[in-house]
């Protein structure tokens, strides 16, 4: 299992939200460039960047983000306001390694079908698309967690798999931003249902003990943000863990 450091950007500043609430913002005195350099110099190959402005359909951060992405060798997993096939293409053309799709995939019945036609490879699968599933008590939430989807969680996973999407970023909303531990029970249910999905865990990771728990249930990777900024997990610990993970592959 690989640890992917998360960097959330709001108005070109590094921040974290609590439970996705824009009214509960913690700003950090460090720039995106500094964070990327810090991770890269410690051997991290992958980062998770969320454009919180983009999530509200405000793309004022985008050129700033693209300029930084073009300068780094890091692989970037990007999300925030991806609501069209053209936007997915634009991001990949800009050098984004993986694009996260969320709300549009739930609300537009044709979006995932069209995306599959564009990005599924010859074997019928896409490695560049990550499907975000934000879950509150096993209910899928979207539009900044304000709306609830009527589709059942496992049915949605099956739909995505049938269209060739196998990598999922699952956020347990009950855990997000609270540093109270990861949603292990939720992830176990998902993996029991579909053992072969590539699951990226997100939300609640507060210590290396949480990382070890996630590793035991065999999630592919986990996103860690606030625990790093709050000093509960060090970049050195991430470096050592990821090196061992690569050696064991």
Catalytic machinery residues? 8, 134
Indicate the DSSP class of residue 55. Answer: G
| Rg of the chain (C-alpha set) | 17
State both tokens at 180. 């109270």
Alpha-helical regions (H) of the chain:
32-41, 62-71, 85-93, 103-107, 111-119, 153-162, 184-193, 208-216, 226-229, 235-248
The rounded distance, in Å, linking the Cα atoms of 191 and 197 is 7
Give the list of residues 6+ apart from residue 108 with CB closer than 8 angstroms, or none: none
């Amino acid at each position: 299992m690989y640890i992917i450091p998360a960097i959330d950007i709001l108005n070109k500043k590094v921040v974290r939200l609590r439970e996705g609430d824009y009214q509960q913002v913690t700003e950090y005195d460090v720039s995106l460039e500094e964070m990327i350099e810090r991770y890269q110099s410690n051997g991290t190959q992958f980062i998770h960047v969320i454009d919180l402005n983009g999530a509200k359909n405000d793309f004022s951060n985008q050129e700033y983000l693209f300029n930084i992405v073009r300068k780094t060798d890091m692989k970037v997993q990007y999300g925030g306001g991806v609501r069209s096939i053209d936007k997915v293409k634009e991001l990949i053309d800009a050098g984004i390694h993986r694009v996260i799709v969320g709300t549009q995939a739930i609300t537009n019945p044709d979006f995932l079908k069209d995306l599959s036609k564009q990005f599924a490879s010859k074997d019928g699968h896409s490695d560049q698309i990550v499907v975000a599933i934000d879950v509150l008590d096993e209910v899928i939430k979207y539009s900044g967690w304000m709306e609830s989807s009527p589709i059942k969680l496992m049915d949605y996973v099956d739909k995505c798999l049938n269209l060739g999407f196998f990598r999922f970023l699952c956020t347990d909303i009950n855990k997000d931003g609270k540093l109270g531990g990861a949603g292990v029970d939720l992830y176990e249910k998902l993996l029991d249902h579909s053992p072969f999905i590539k699951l990226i865990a997100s939300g609640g990771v507060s210590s290396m003990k949480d990382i070890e728990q996630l590793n035991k249930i065999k999630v592919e990777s986990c996103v860690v943000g606030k625990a790093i900024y709050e000093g509960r997990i060090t970049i050195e610990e991430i470096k050592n863990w990821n090196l061992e993970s690569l050696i064991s592959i």
